[in-house]
Amino acid sequence: MLRNLVVFALFLFGAFFAGTYLAYGQIDPCRALAVEQARRSPMPTGMAEVWARIANSGESRPACTRDLIDSWRERLLAQR
């Protein structure tokens, strides 16, 4: 029972990182956040990504992860 729970948790982490890599081409949450912000920006994506990386460079990985999840939540709620 405990082994199945551990395997399931590892599967979830693997699925999260695989999905992040497939969606953004990055595993690092701060770089993925920069790509997400660039895609949602009215500026051209190449320029916006550079500015987003500069803006996110001072954030920690947990902070970038929270911001990325918040961005996903905003996108999901905007589609409804």
At 19-53, the pLDDT tens digits run 889 999 888 999 999 999 999 999 898 899 999 99
> Is the full-model pTM beyond 0.85?
no
63 vs 48: CA distance, rounded Å? 20
Of the candidates 80, 77, 28, 20, the one whose C-alpha atom is nearest the C-alpha of residue 57 is 28
60 class by beta-carbon count within 10 Å (0-12 exposed, 13-18 middle, 19+ buried) = exposed
Two structure tokens written together for 16 = 């999260």
What is the pLDDT at residue 54? 93
